[in-house]
Chains A and B, each alone.
Chain A
Amino acid sequence: MIWDWHFAGKILPDLLRGLVVTIEATLLGYVVALILGLVWAILRRSPSRIVNQTVRWVVEFIRSTPLLVQLFFLFFALPSTGLQFSALVTGIIGLGLHYSSYTSEVYRAGIADVPVGQWEAATALNLPRRRVWFGVVLPQAVRKVIPTLANYLIAMFKDSPLLLAITVPEMLHSAYDVGARSLRFLEPMTIVGVLFVIVSVLSSLLLRRLEFRYGNN
């Protein structure tokens, strides 16, 4: 069997529709990961030992178990608790939850990097806790870790094909469908691979610009 350009052109629109779903899931999942990661990072600084140790182990657990298993768990177990989500929403929650364990480490490093003097000054000024976090610490901490956080967007994009396992119609899923219907797997699979590389390389070029802009360390 040899490469058929005509066939490749015919299936491209299908695959691009899949790419849109892939990107949608990645971006929304990323928003979940950014917010949830920040929540984990702040809770880990809680003075209560019970809270910070619990969060520590929960995050460690999420980080060291496979995303695929977590997705299945959410997909099959959530409905039994009465929460009914579409496959795509479950996928977004799963991706976001998994990657929040990575982003929380990134935030944690950023927060640890804020000089102690800043905390002391905030205490001396008698700022309320909320303002200490949102007015003083986080603006400095987050700025420093923006390039690292952006790295995880790319990593997440590459994990998004796993959503096909819970029937989300993303790119690899559409490629598989096309392949199963026409019994030609070479073209769809290759195109998907190439599209992945193109999007990843483009976004890592963007990332380098981000690093240039924010990275003085």
Chain B
Amino acid sequence: MSDVLSSYPLLLRGAWVTIQLTLYGSALALVLAFVFGLVGLARSAWLRAFGRIYVEFFRGTATLVLMYWFFYALPLVGARFTPMFAAVLALGLNVGAYGAEVVRGAVKAVPKEQYEATVALNMRPAQRLRRVLLPQAIALMLPPFGNLLIELMKGSAVVSLISIADLMLRAQQLRQSTGQTTSVFLVILVMYFVIAQVLQLLVRYLERRADIMLGRRPGREARSPLETLGAAK
């Protein structure tokens, strides 16, 4: 155990790569989720069909298969990726497909009256989305996005199979050099767990902020002085 603990710089470097992958992957996934989620809500049937194809295809393939495909198959037809790029692309495309469904569902779940009100106020489509529909939809998206973020972080462990030095690969190296299999894997399991818990706290914080922004949960600044006086009595 002490051998494993004393080589913590190696594991920390691996953890940093894991975190980077999570950040880049989720940034890509977020963009794709909004683009294809909104495309899925478009009035044109062609656009909607295009969105469906993206979602069904990338939800249907395994991340690892996608990653292998980018890394081993595409170079043969001339498209060469660095391992990191292939990994981020595969993770982002995969999680983005799930995210697109979340975005579509959340925008649809905003009460219909809200939409009708924006039409009555003569807002342009972009304004409707930006000022009324999205702010409410985002509050609905956050909890499932939180789950997806953790899924992405966990999914990033497979990048070790295309030789990226993330936490998982570092653990493999350490296992080979120290021979202490059980403790190496226990340590990195705990590290992954900690990363996941931190990500979860972050999402909870964002959820609280979104609720306060929409006035669904009383924030500190939202309380009027009179109420505070009343509470003091």
Interface residues of A (CB under 8 A from B): 1-2, 61, 64-70, 72-73, 76-77, 80, 158-162, 164-165, 172, 175-176, 179, 184-186, 189-190, 192-193, 196-197, 200-201, 204
Contact A67 B154 (CB under 8 A): yes
Q: Per-residue CB proximity of B169-212 to A under 8 Å, as 1/0?
A: 00110010000011001101100110011001000000000000
Q: Per-residue CB proximity of B85-117 to A under 8 Å, as 1/0?
A: 000000000000000000000000000000000
Query: Would you call the interface of chain A mostly helix, strand, loop, or mixed?
Result: helix
Contact B77 A176 (CB under 8 A): no
Distance A197 CA – B54 CA, assembled complex (angstroms): 12
Contact B182 A200 (CB under 8 A): no
Chain A residues contacting B69 (CB-CB under 8 Å) are: 189-190, 192-193
Contact B64 A172 (CB under 8 A): yes
Can you list 22 A-B contacts with CB-CB less than 8 angstroms, sorted by A residue number?
Answer: A64-B192, A64-B197, A64-B200, A66-B156, A68-B168, A69-B185, A69-B189, A72-B171, A77-B181, A160-B62, A162-B158, A172-B68, A185-B72, A186-B73, A189-B65, A190-B69, A192-B69, A193-B69, A196-B61, A196-B65, A197-B56, A197-B60
Contact A158 B62 (CB under 8 A): yes
Distance A30 CA – B128 CA, assembled complex (angstroms): 44
Chain B: interface size category:
35 or more
Query: Given the known A-B contacts A76-B181, A77-B181, are A68 and B73 also in contact in the complex, defined by CB atoms under 8 Å?
Result: no
Distance A204 CA – B52 CA, assembled complex (angstroms): 14
Closest to B64 in A: A161
Contact A200 B160 (CB under 8 A): no
Q: How far is the CB of B45 from chain A (nearest CB, A)?
A: 20
Contact A192 B65 (CB under 8 A): yes
Chain A residues contacting B63 (CB-CB under 8 Å) are: 158
Chain A residues contacting B153 (CB-CB under 8 Å) are: 66
Distance A160 CA – B68 CA, assembled complex (angstroms): 14
